[in-house]
Amino acid sequence: MTLWFENRFGEVKPIAHCENKDDVYRSINEFIKQANARKAKGSNPFKSYYMRSWEQDGKTWYDVGSHVEFFYTTEK
């Protein structure tokens, strides 16, 4: 399955190909880690305190607590 990231502007990009949900969780955490590493020195890193998922519109959505940015998977 393909893991996608949708930013606050509605822009979507594929970030990983995953075999199962464990791969999805690892890939999301790695994406957050890399995004935090690119932030300006002294800025607050994003910290996900939870991860929840649900199915909608043929996708599995993953909420990590940002309120405006999401991850989702598709089978293709």
What is the average pLDDT score of the chain? Answer: 94
Asked whether the predicted pLDDT for residue 76 surpasses 80, the reply is: no
Tens digit of pLDDT for each residue in 10-27? 999 999 999 999 999 999
Q: Model confidence over 20-60: pLDDT tens digits? A: 999 999 999 999 999 999 988 888 889 999 999 999 999 99
pTM of the model as a whole: 0.89
Alpha carbon distances (Å) from 56 to 26, 42, 46: 22, 37, 26
Range 73-76 contact pairs with CB under 8 angstroms and sequence separation of 24 or more? 73/1, 73/2, 73/3, 73/4, 73/18, 73/24, 74/1, 74/2, 74/4, 75/1, 76/1, 76/2
Please give the pLDDT value at position 5. Answer: 97
Q: Where are the domains of the chain?
A: 2-74
